Amino acid sequence: MQIAVIGAGYVGLTISACWVRMGHQVTCVESDPARLSTIQGGKLPFFEPELEDLVAEGVARGSLRATGVFADAVAPAEVVFIAVGTPSRRTGEPDLSAIDAVTDALRRVPRAERIVGIKSTIPVGTTDRIADALRAAGPAHVAHTPEFLAEGTAVSDFFHPYRVIIGTRSQTAGRVLSSLYQPLRCPILVTDPCTSEMTKYASNTFLATKVSFINQIAALCERTGADVAAVASGMGLDPRVGPHFFRAGVGFGGSCLPKDTRALIALAEQCRLSPALFDTVLKVNDAQRDRFVEKARIALGELAGKRIAVFGLAFKGGTSDVRESPAVDIIGRLMAEGVAVRAFDPAAEDGAMRAVPGLVCCPDIYEAAEGADAVAILTDWQEFVTLDWGRLRRLVREPLVLDGRGLPIADAASAAGFVYIGPSTAVGARPRSAEAARHYAGTPHVASGDS
Ligand code: UGA
């Protein structure tokens, strides 16, 4: 099948390369000239495991093309996927200007019949509005087909989806898109566009809720002596609860969970309903960052003048993306308090240095650790699980590790002589000064949201 994909970001480029691997011809449209020429050269403009080989292979075979000329991609395409961004406005509502611009551009490239699959996350009612606009200009079968792939595992998520949702009022769009996804052998739910649009927002907000839930439990564990990782494992064995999205730590970031939770809050307010649960999810998430900085302050006695080695800058492991990254936020706060930060991230260094002016990044983790008063782990990169803690012990000034991601490293770090402080470790167990001890004893927990 001849497919056009509008927007070559994480979603657009991943699905383009994956459709090519499934035997289709794909042309993706990208308006950013630098990004476009990188893709045309068979390279990736961002880091995403497994994607580079697929892109290089597709470009070399001529099955994957990238262009800046909208009509060249769209005119011959039987199916057009729209994968442009819908970032938050200041009000929390999504900014639909990119998707509206694509709709206008599509109206100017007529075709006898066309299937349009909207991958972008859009407010309830938007697909119907776009379908009306497109049909006014010619025959179009429009569907919302939300994308559920996650950064860092995008290629594998594409080929092994839990489900595909097709929200449409067009039988043709339902039939064609179902047959396109059929080889992936997963449940395919064909529904109306409003339900599909809501399912996407609800899915991401539910994941955000799970993370905030376990983080609130972590705060209680910290005060009561329970171990949050073990609590999460115990809860997760019940299939009604499930083990996923239960890692406590510095909270969720990225371009999707915070944005989509804000969008549901805006929608609830428009509907004159209380967004209380969603509000609290964000409030608890923000508090995780305060809580981490507070734990660092208590563990170190004071922050000003201290040196902290930060491992991880991306919003999660496996990506170079630093959008709404808890690590970037926490580093900014530490630096504002007079901490000298030396950071390492396997992929996100460039983005983080743009986001935090003056940030010092090191070429490897051991260089970042030299002379540090503490090591702070802020991203769950897999490679941080197998660090040489003996070597780190010889490099740091103080053997203290503040693990903001709850990695399974406590035993290895402790065996090498580090004091390990995880998401539910009470820092008061190791006060560095009388002042810190007093502070800890008298500080209400920041994650409670009422302090
Ligand atoms: C998320 C969803 O997981 C995807 O299904 C969805 O398609 C995507 O948004 C989207 O809407 O495009 P993504 O933002 O790439 O994917 O990353 P997640 O894996 O969801 O992680 C989000 C954040 O939650 C990260 O900061 C991560 O570190 C954090 N997290 C995740 C936790 O703190 N604890 C957990 O247990 C899981």
User: What is the pLDDT tens value at each position of the chain, 451 positions in all?
Assistant: 999 999 999 999 999 999 999 999 999 999 999 999 999 999 999 999 999 999 999 999 999 999 999 999 999 999 999 999 999 899 888 999 999 999 999 999 988 889 999 999 999 999 999 999 999 988 899 999 999 999 999 999 999 999 999 999 999 999 999 999 999 999 999 999 999 999 999 999 999 999 999 999 999 999 999 999 999 999 999 999 999 999 999 999 999 999 999 999 999 999 999 999 999 999 999 999 999 999 999 999 999 999 999 999 999 999 999 999 999 999 999 999 999 999 999 999 999 999 999 999 999 999 999 999 999 999 999 999 999 999 999 999 999 999 999 999 999 999 999 999 999 999 864 444 444 444 444 443 333 333 3
Say if CB 187 and CB 164 are below 8 A apart.
yes
Per-residue pLDDT, 62 = 97
Instruction: Give the atom of ligand 1 at the shortest distance from the alpha carbon of 203.
Output: 5
Cβ neighbours of 273 (radius 10 Å): 9
Per-residue pLDDT, 264 = 96
Tell me the pLDDT tens digit for each residue of 235-288. Answer: 999 999 999 999 999 999 999 999 999 999 999 999 999 999 999 999 999 999
Instruction: Give the atom of ligand 1 at the shortest distance from the alpha carbon of 10.
Output: 12
Domain 2-190: give its CATH code: 3.40.50.720
With a 6 Å cutoff on the Cβ, whether 249 touches ligand 1 is yes
**Run of H or E including 59:** helix 51-61
Say if CB 252 and CB 266 are below 8 A apart.
no
In 3D space, the residue among 125, 25, 22 whose CA is nearest the CA of residue 79 turns out to be: 25
With a 6 Å cutoff on the Cβ, whether 245 touches ligand 1 is yes
Mutate to test the pocket of ligand 1, among 257, 285, 313 (most ligand atoms within 8 A of CB): 257
Say if CB 365 and CB 388 are below 8 A apart.
no
From ligand 1's centre to the CA of 112, what distance in Å? Answer: 39
From ligand 1's centre to the CA of 149, what distance in Å? Answer: 9
Phi, psi of 31 (to 5 degrees): -90, -20
Residue nearest to atom 16 of ligand 1 (CA): 150
Tell me the pLDDT tens digit for each residue of 311-320. Answer: 999 999 999 9
From ligand 1's centre to the CA of 215, what distance in Å? Answer: 15
Task: Output the CA torsion sign for 47, 50, 53, 59.
Answer: negative
> pLDDT averaged over the chain?
94
What is the value of pTM for the model shown? 0.93
Annotation says 256 is catalytic:
yes
In 3D space, the residue among 114, 131, 109 whose CA is nearest the CA of residue 122 turns out to be: 131
32 class by beta-carbon count within 10 Å (0-12 exposed, 13-18 middle, 19+ buried): middle
Per-residue pLDDT, 88 = 87
Per-residue pLDDT, 156 = 98
Instruction: Give the atom of ligand 1 at the shortest distance from the alpha carbon of 200.
Output: 11
Percent of the chain with pLDDT strictly greater than 90? 92
With a 6 Å cutoff on the Cβ, whether 379 touches ligand 1 is no
Strand, coil or helix: 339 = coil
Domain 204-440: give its CATH code: 3.40.50.720
In angstroms, the CA 374 to CA 389 distance is 13
Strand, coil or helix: 226 = coil
From ligand 1's centre to the CA of 51, what distance in Å? Answer: 18
In angstroms, the CA 258 to CA 422 distance is 24
Instruction: Give the atom of ligand 1 at the shortest distance from the alpha carbon of 253.
Output: 26
Say if CB 124 and CB 197 are below 8 A apart.
yes
Q: Where in the chain is the domain with CATH 3.40.50.720?
A: 2-190, 204-440
DSSP secondary structure, 358-378, as one string: T-EE-SSHHHHHTT-SEEEE-
From ligand 1's centre to the CA of 355, what distance in Å? Answer: 20
- Considering the candidates 256, 271, 361, 362, report the single residue annotated as catalytic: 256
Residue nearest to atom 22 of ligand 1 (CA): 252
Residue nearest to atom 17 of ligand 1 (CA): 150
What are the angstrom distances between the C-alpha of 88 and each of 24, 211, 299, 332?
33, 21, 36, 22
In 3D space, the residue among 266, 267, 286 whose CA is nearest the CA of residue 216 turns out to be: 286
From ligand 1's centre to the CA of 204, what distance in Å? Answer: 8
Per-residue pLDDT, 278 = 98
Say if CB 365 and CB 390 are below 8 A apart.
no
Strand, coil or helix: 158 = helix
Per-residue pLDDT, 443 = 41
Per-residue pLDDT, 308 = 98
Per-residue pLDDT, 370 = 98
In angstroms, the CA 368 to CA 66 distance is 39
Per-residue pLDDT, 441 = 45
